[in-house]
Amino acid sequence: MRILALETSCDETAAAVVENGTAVSSSVIATSKEAFSHSGGVIPESAARQQIAAIHPVIDAALREAHVTHEALDALAVTRGPGLLGSLLVGTMTARTLAALWKKPLIGVHHTLGHLSSTWLERNEPCFFPLLALSASGGHTELWLRHAHTKGELLGQTRDDAAGEAFDKGASLLALPYPGGPSIARAATSGNPKAFPFPLPLAHEETSDFSFSGLKTAMKYTVQELEAQGIAPADCLADLAASYQHALCRHLVDRVERALRLHPEAREVHLVGGVSANTTLRSLLIEALDGRPLLFPTRFEFCTDNGAMIGAAAAFSFAEKGKRAFRHFTTAASLPSTDVFGEQD
Ligand code: KG4
Ligand code: ZN
């Protein structure tokens, strides 16, 4: 099944041609992140305006790079939500229009299902259900026990900030550019992760939930205390970044370990979403899993928002649900996690 998939839920404008949910014939991503590097985050209207200009050139490039025309497509897919409404509308209106003109079926995909499907892209070996998936991005942080591509249970989620958001807010406190994840990872390279003792959130709570706002507040107070002592945070930037990154990762790993104790039937662990690009997190998880397979997207560009993951999710939905995957869908800025798989049997 050859799908042209669009993803425009945040500031990226992405299109990809994906075969059978795994082979990526093309993946084109235009981003306006540069424009927001000093504003601390995305400005929604500005992002949507840039996406209006970018969407058709990006689609044309994806078809060209895949060496196909629209006649060769079996279906279109698009992120239906959650995300920034203006940005989502650019993608879904374009997809609806092209699907009608080209007479192709259209599959609406929950953004999180896209991330959850990203581990299959360009992978030759199969993945095995049931599996535990940690999806951590700028908008959500969730632990899923997945029984199939379109079936799973939510074990826990963040009670406040998302993990990526905690990286972004921490970076902003350290005057590092947006997006904060890569900025903090870069600054942390030469730092000591034990220099500043940040707390381990929810350490004594029997829950698979997450909480990151306390770490962000701890960082704020640490910076204030340093300044009160006449020490510029910039002078210990590497140690601050390394300690903060370590604390965020330790919390994520701690929750995965707990979930595995409760669900030993999970045959492998998947790490997806923008934060899965973090190599410290990957190393800490590999260490903690003690031989149980850890899978993350095969390319860094499949960790952060991209069209290919939406194409993968759409193909697997069609494989498991047949034509029910083509059901009418609405475009929505907020969608509950219960909608991730669409209708479950
Ligand atoms: O999945 P994504 O591209 O967009 C959303 O769905 O939100 O995730 C973006 C988030 C941002 O918060 C960014 O700071 C974070 O992922 N991120 C990282 C890294 N690369 C991106 N966080 C930690 N380490 C990274 N290397
Ligand atoms: Zn995302």
Q: Is 29 in the pocket of ligand 1 (CB under 6 A)?
A: no
Q: Is 182 in the pocket of ligand 1 (CB under 6 A)?
A: yes
Span from the CA of 275 to the centroid of ligand 1 (angstroms): 5
The DSSP letter of residue 126 is: -
- Atom of ligand 1 at shortest distance to CA of 304? 3
pLDDT of residue 344: 54
Q: Is 307 in the pocket of ligand 1 (CB under 6 A)?
A: no
User: E strand or H helix at 108, and its extent?
Assistant: strand 106-110
pLDDT of residue 31: 85
pLDDT of residue 35: 78
Q: Is the dihedral of CA 295, 308, 248, 258 positive or negative?
A: negative
**Closest ligand to Cα 304:** 1
Identify which of 53, 36, 55 has the alpha carbon closest to the alpha carbon of residue 44: 36
- Spell out the per-residue pLDDT of the chain, length 345, in tens: 999 999 999 999 999 999 999 999 999 999 877 777 777 788 999 999 999 999 999 999 999 999 999 999 999 999 999 999 999 999 999 999 999 999 999 999 999 999 999 999 999 899 999 999 999 999 999 999 999 999 999 999 999 999 999 999 999 999 999 999 999 999 999 999 999 999 999 999 989 999 999 999 999 999 999 999 999 999 999 999 999 999 999 999 999 999 999 999 999 999 999 999 999 999 999 999 989 999 999 999 999 999 999 999 999 999 999 999 999 999 999 999 889 998 654
Mutate to test the pocket of ligand 1, among 84, 116, 137, 296 (most ligand atoms within 8 A of CB): 137
pLDDT of residue 37: 79
Q: Is 11 in the pocket of ligand 1 (CB under 6 A)?
A: no
Whether 277 and 309 have beta carbons less than 8 Å apart is answered as no
Q: Is 83 in the pocket of ligand 1 (CB under 6 A)?
A: no
Span from the CA of 239 to the centroid of ligand 2 (angstroms): 28
Mutate to test the pocket of ligand 1, among 275, 276, 279 (most ligand atoms within 8 A of CB): 275
Cross-strand partners of 75: 3
Question: What distance in Å separates the CA atoms of residue 66 and residue 309, rounded to the nearest whole number?
Answer: 16
pLDDT of residue 240: 98
- Atom of ligand 1 at shortest distance to CA of 9? 6
Cα–Cα distances (Å) from 320 to 127, 148, 203, 316, 344, in that order, read 16, 9, 38, 6, 11
Span from the CA of 272 to the centroid of ligand 2 (angstroms): 9
Whether 87 and 11 have beta carbons less than 8 Å apart is answered as yes
Matching residue, tokens 């704020």: 220
- Atom of ligand 1 at shortest distance to CA of 273? 1
Q: Using CA positions, which residue lies closest to atom 22 of ligand 1?
A: 181
Q: Is 275 in the pocket of ligand 1 (CB under 6 A)?
A: yes
Ordered alpha helix ranges (H), the chain: 33-36, 44-65, 85-102, 111-117, 163-173, 180-188, 213-228, 237-262, 279-289, 308-321
Span from the CA of 345 to the centroid of ligand 2 (angstroms): 26
Cα–Cα distances (Å) from 71 to 91, 108, 128, 188, 190, in that order, read 20, 20, 34, 48, 52
Q: Is 41 exposed, middle or buried (0-12, 13-18, 19+ CB in 10 A)?
A: middle
Q: Is 170 in the pocket of ligand 1 (CB under 6 A)?
A: no
Phi then psi for residue 229, to 5 deg, are -85, 5
pLDDT of residue 72: 98
Matching residue, tokens 């500005």: 46
Span from the CA of 237 to the centroid of ligand 1 (angstroms): 20
Q: Is 185 in the pocket of ligand 1 (CB under 6 A)?
A: yes
Span from the CA of 236 to the centroid of ligand 2 (angstroms): 31
